Structure formats: structure tokens, C-alpha cells
Structure 1
Amino acid sequence: MALNNTYDARLVQQETAVGAGVQILLLALLGSAIGLGPAGWLTGVAFAVATWAVLSRALHRTRPRSFGPANRVTLGRATLVGGVTALVADSFESAPPVTVFVGLTAVALILDGVDGKVARRTGTSTPLGARFDMEVDAFLILVLSVYVSTRLGPWVLLIGGMRYAFVAAARVLPWLNAPLPPSTARKTVAALQGVLLLLAASGCLPFWATCAVTSIALAALVWSFGRDVLWLRGTSRTVADGVGRGRADEVALMLELTREPVAS
């Protein structure tokens, strides 16, 4: 058992350290190529440290036998998201080159469809990998919504904040934590968020078209979350009603068994 713990500790140090190192290297490349400012550097380094810390803790808790090829793809995608985050933070002082911004974001979005396929083909799908992939997706959408909001207004932040609002609500309403059935529509809407936000952030559309594209993204997301919330609520009520009927039947049976016989 001790040998397994030593292996896991070494695994965590190697995999997460490489990820943090590549993130710093990407920031250095961006700094030399486009002159990344202090805000971009600080944000990028903070992202690298946070990713390293959270991922290390998750690996220590789950203790996987190996990090896995799919998680390496997701870690590479997280590195690109860190670069996009640094560019967005720097954009408040100077706009980043469109080609660099769009290029990093586009590759990160394309790789979103790769890590899942790698996990299935190699038989390395794990709850940790799925959660890691989901968190990287959610943070990229949040960062893109922040960038687009600087042009269209704060209402765009609803797109990036909706998933985090759902998680916060689930802490107060436990029925939101119930597992959802697989849904192609949900996956499609989630994938469209990044594509539509990138299109809006690219600056290649006129203002009215940028507003329309972003509004479509928000409307689709509200529909998707709303449908899931209604399903979860309906399921929770069905379970509660079933439990209530079961308890009522038990009480009725107990009363029947304890009732005194009536004299004939």
C-alpha cells in the first residue's frame, strides 16, 4: 500500500508540474510575440498555479493508476485556456491580436472533441477526467463571455455565469444534484456556446450580427438549463410522492394490525 502511495505522489508531481511548466512557457511565448502586459502575466500565472493545485488535490484523492492519455489532452487544452485567459485580462489595457486570440481559442475548442474520444478508445474514462473536461469547458466559456461583454455589455456574462449559478443553487437545493439522463441536445448547446462566443469575439461580424449571435447562444443555454431544471424538479417530486405514499401505506397497515377486533 505504501508503494502505491509513493507512485501516486510521484505521478501527481510529474504530470501537474509539466502542465504548469508548459503554461508558463506559453505565457513566455505570448509575451515575446505580442508583448503580454502585467495583467496578462499575473492572470496567466494565477491560472497555472490554480490548475496545478486543484488537479494535484483531485489526483491525490482519487489515486488513479495512471494519469491517462485523455487527461493529458485535457491538460493541454487547459494550457491553451490559460493563454486565452491571459489575453483577455490583458485586453483591458490593449486589444490582443485577433489571429492569436482566435487561434488559441479555436484549437482549445477543437480539442474538446478529442479527449472524450481518446478516453473511450483507450478505456481510460474516469469521473475525474469527465469533471476535469467539464471544468475546463466552463471556464473557457466564462472567459469568452467576459471578453465579449466588454463590447456588448454585462448581459453577456449570463452565458459564462449560468453554470456556476447552477452549481451554487445546487448547494441550497439538493434535488439539483440528481444525475441527468444523457442528452444530445444538451451536448450540442454546450458545444455551440464556445463556437458562437468565439465568432462574436473575433470582430469579423457587424455589431448587430454580433448581438444576434450572442443572443442565440444565451437563448439556447437558457432553454437547455431550463429544461434540465424542470426535469430534475419533476423527478424530485415524483420520488417525494412515492416516498410519501409508501409511508402512508405503512402507517395504514400498522393501524390495521393494531386495531382491536370488533365483537360479533
Structure 2
Amino acid sequence: MTIGRATAPDAPSRGAAAGLVVLFALLAALSATVGIGAVGWLAGLAYGAVLTGALVVGARRTGLRRLGAANLVTLSRALLVGGVTALVAYSFERPAPTAVLVALVGVALALDGVDGQVARRTGSTTALGARFDMEVDAFLILVLSVYVAGPLGWWTVAMGAYRYVFVAASWALPWMNRALPPRFSRKVVAAAQGVALVVATAGILPASVNLVVVAAALVSLTWSFVRDSAWLWRAERAHRATVAATTHTTPLAVPVRRRQPAPIPASVSA
């Protein structure tokens, strides 16, 4: 049977499907070595299904015909995050293997800067790639913040929840969707979250030190979000002021009455 172009899956769909197969193999390897249980399988596969669907939909909306090298690197990171998700989910039943968990997280974070460099060097930077990279980072931070909540307290989940609270707020307040100016400090704060959570996950420092490190990272993240939100609000106020000034200075149109033609006498029309 020959599959025509109209019915054949596109390259992003094939890439996402291949990623799902690789994730299944990773979960099987973790299950056979350290164990992830049924809850780990469920969490990992659910994550993979959402990842695949979101990637395919995003590619079709943006007209992306192939993933490219940079997105493949990001997809590799995303698959590692799937393994981390399975281990963290299973940690609610029994202690997770710290060495394996930290190794997966470490490789995922190490690859964080690789996809961006590949995109710039190959001239394949896209809006989808940037969004894909950001969402993978955000979900990894969320999963790790849930994991360290065990020894440190559930306040740590705020680190992972900030991104999703911001997205939810932008649905209600469209002005929060405005593009933010690039800032190096924002990258530093984002990197600090990963470092702090990895240190706390590894458990190589005393609990009191981990508490201070993660709390400091949360404070810096809060400062970053407050500053960005304030900038967005000031930009919105400036935009409203400009619109209002333009509206007040534009002269009102004066209605012009059209001259009606004189009625034709009945004798002429007849």
C-alpha cells in the first residue's frame, strides 16, 4: 500500500513519535534497574503523551516542516525530563535512587545551552524552538521543586509554580503577553534555580544549608518575576496613555450633509 503525501506523517510528527519510543525505552531501562513502579510508568507515559501532542500541534501551527538539530537536542533533554518525572513520581512510594536522578538532571541541564548554540550556528532559530526550550526548563524546575518539598517543605513548589501562575495570569490580563526586553540577570536567575534544586536533590549538603540555598533561589526568582511584571504594567500604562492622547488629539469628523437633488415635477416625469 502506498501512502500519499497528503496522508503521510510530516517530519515533526515522526520525530515526536520516535521520541515517544525512546522515552518508553528509557522508562523500561529505569524500571529494570532501579525500579519506577506503576506510578512511575503512568507519570512518564502521561508526560510523553503530552509532550508529543504539544510538539506536533506547535509544529503545525508554526508551519515547521522539520525539527532540525537544535530541536532534536531539546527533545533529548525533554526525554531525560520524562525519566526524572517517573523517578520523582515513584519517590512518593519509596526513596528514589539519588545518583540516577541527579545524573539525569545533570545531563538535561548540561544540554540546556547546547540547543541554543546549535540553533544560532545553523541559523535555525525559531519561535517554536525557543518556546520548546523554555517549557522543558520550566517543567524540570517544577518536578524538582516537588521532589525537594519532601525534606524542605512544600513552599519549594512555588519555584516551579511561578511560570504557570504567570501564564494563567496572562490569560486574564492580555497585557502580560507583551515581549519582555532581554536581560542577562533573568538568565542568571533561571540558572540559579536549577543549581539550587540539583544541590538540594543530591543531598550533599546539610539540610539547613539546602534550606538557605533553595530559599535564596526562590527570593531571586520572586524578585525577577516582580520586576518583569512591573515592567509589563508600565509598558501597558504607557501604551494606554499613547492611545488616549492620540484619541484626544485627532480632530472629530464633521458630518457633511449631502445636497439632495431637486424633485422632478410630475409633468416632466410623465
Question: What are the within-5 Å matches in structure 2 for residues 89-168 of structure 1?
Answer: 89-168=89-168
* One-letter code aligned to 1:81: V
CA separation in 1, counterparts of 2:207 and 2:45? 33
Residue aligning to 2:70: 70
Q: Provide the aligned C-alpha RMSD in A.
A: 1.6
**Residues matched between the structures, number:** 252
Query: Residue 201 of structure 1 aligns to which amino acid in structure 2?
Result: T
Say if 1:138 and 1:5 are closer, same or farther in 2 by CA, change over 3 A: farther
- Aligned letter for 2:129? G
Q: Give unmatched runs, 5+ long, in structure 1.
A: 259-264
Instruction: Confirm or deny: 8 A CA contact 2:12 2:65 kept in the other structure.
Output: no
Following superposition, the deviation at residue 90 of structure 1 comes to 0.4
- The structure with the larger Rg is 2
TM (normalized to structure 1)?
0.91
> Hey, what's the Cα distance between the residues in 2 that align with 1:129 and 1:6?
25
Change in CA separation of 1:215 and 1:122 when aligned onto 2, cut-off 3 Å:
same
Alignment of 1:34-53 (within 5 A): 34-53=34-53
Provide the secondary structure at the position in 2 that maps to 1:170. Answer: helix
- 2:10 matched residue in structure 1: 10
Alignment of 1:137-216 (within 5 A): 137-216=137-216
Q: CA deviation at 1:6?
A: 5.8
Q: Give the number of the structure whose residues are more often helix, by fraction.
A: 1
Q: What residue in structure 2 maps to residue 262 of structure 1?
A: none
Deviations 1:194-221 (A, max 9, x none): 1111111111111110110110110010
| Structure-1 separation of matches of 2:26 and 2:202 | 21
Of residues 46-55 and 115-124 in structure 1, the stretch that sits farther from structure 2 once superposed is 46-55
- Within 5 Å, give how 1:248-263 maps onto structure 2: 248-250=248-250, 253-254=251-252
TM-score normalised by L of structure 2: 0.89
Instruction: Name the amino acid aligned to 1:79.
Output: L
Q: How far, CA to CA, are the matches of 1:27 and 1:66 in structure 2?
A: 26
Shift of 1:65: 3.2
SS where residue 51 of structure 1 aligns? Answer: helix
What secondary structure does 1:65 align onto? coil
Is the 2:178–2:232 contact (alpha carbons within 8 Å) kept by the matching residues of 1?
yes
One-letter amino acid of the counterpart of residue 249, structure 1 = T
Where has structure 1 moved over 3 Å in runs of 4 or more?
Answer: 3-7
Q: Which ranges of structure 2 fall in alignment gaps of 5 or more residues? A: 256-270
Q: Report what 1:261 is aligned to.
A: none
Q: Specify the alignment match of 2:24 in structure 1.
A: 24
What residue is the counterpart of 1:55 in the other structure?
55
What is the letter of the counterpart of residue 104 of structure 1? L
